């Protein structure tokens, strides 16, 4: 199941990369068309407008190229990420014990699907547990993973 989801995300990333390449090619063709129009234009205001449009297209082309290079530069291996995820699922308490506030926030976001609620009289309410921990609880036979 995880492998299929991973493969689907990779296919989606490849489709996004293809779309970005197509958009870069479209921007280049628009730039070429505007350059040919500049050569034919004689009005300074029209030439200025064409130059502004070319500048905008060049900026967007550079941004798209940088995004494409950034996403393509890091080959992602399923096994590496799966191992990291399983290590977290096996011992979130070890990460919590590290004491780093940013890591603790990550543990809370990954461990609980919703926000925390507090009742003035009864105190804190039981939060919604994230899907991976619910699945692990069902596999281990535990009905309720967390009781406050």
Per-residue pLDDT of 4-36, as tens digits, reads 877 888 888 889 889 999 999 999 999 999 999
pLDDT at 74: 63
What is the C-alpha separation between 128 and 72, in angstroms, rounded?
A: 36
Domain count, the chain: 2
Judged by average pLDDT, the poorest of 9-23, 82-96, 110-124 is 82-96
Q: Are residues 26 and 88 in the same domain?
A: no
Residue 146 lies in a domain: no
Q: What is the pTM of this model?
A: 0.54
Q: What is the pLDDT of residue 75?
A: 58
13 and 60 co-located in one domain? yes
Q: Which of 54, 75, 96 is the last residue of a domain?
A: 75
pLDDT for residue 107: 82
Residues 64 and 99 placed together within one structural domain of the fold: no
* HSE, side-chain direction, 13 A CA sphere, residue 49: 7
Residues 48 and 18 in one domain: yes
* Residue 148 within a domain: no
Model pLDDT, residue 30? 93
Residue 118: predicted pLDDT: 82
Note whether 69 and 17 are same-domain residues: yes
What's the chain's average pLDDT? 82
Say if residue 20 is in the same domain as residue 34.
yes
**Is the pLDDT confidence value at 57 over 90?**
yes
Residue 38 has pLDDT above 50, yes or no: yes
Q: Which residue has the higher pLDDT, 62 or 71?
A: 62
Boundaries of domain holding 130: 79-140
Residues 48 and 102 in one domain: no
**69 and 6 within one domain:** yes
State which H helix or E strand residue 112 sits in.
Answer: none
68 and 86 assigned to the same domain:
no
> Are 57 and 70 part of one and the same domain?
yes
CA distance 89 to 43: 66
Residues 92, 25: Cα–Cα separation, whole Å: 46
Are residues 52 and 88 located together in one domain of the fold? no
The pLDDT score that the predictor gives to residue 32 is 93
Given a cut of 60, whether residue 98 has pLDDT beyond it is yes
Closest by CA position to 15, among listed 71, 57, 80: 71
- pLDDT for res 6: 78
Split at pLDDT 50, 70, 90, the class of 148 is very low
Based on the fold, state whether residues 11 and 71 are members of the same structural domain. yes
């Amino acid at each position: 199941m995880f492998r299929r989801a991973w493969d689907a995300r990779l296919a989606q990333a490849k489709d996004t990369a293809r779309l970005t390449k197509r958009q870069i090619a479209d921007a280049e063709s628009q730039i070429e068309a505007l350059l040919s129009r500049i050569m034919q234009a004689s009005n300074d205001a029209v030439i200025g407008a064409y130059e502004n449009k070319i500048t905008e297209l060049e900026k967007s082309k550079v941004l798209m190229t940088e995004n494409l290079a950034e996403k393509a530069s890091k080959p992602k291996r399923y096994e590496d990420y799966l191992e990291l995820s399983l290590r977290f699922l096996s011992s979130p308490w070890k990460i919590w014990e590290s004491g780093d506030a940013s890591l603790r926030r990550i543990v809370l976001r990954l461990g609980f699907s919703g926000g925390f609620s507090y009742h003035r009289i009864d105190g804190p309410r039981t939060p919604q547990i994230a899907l991976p921990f619910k699945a692990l609880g069902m596999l281990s036979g535990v009905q309720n993973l967390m009781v406050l």
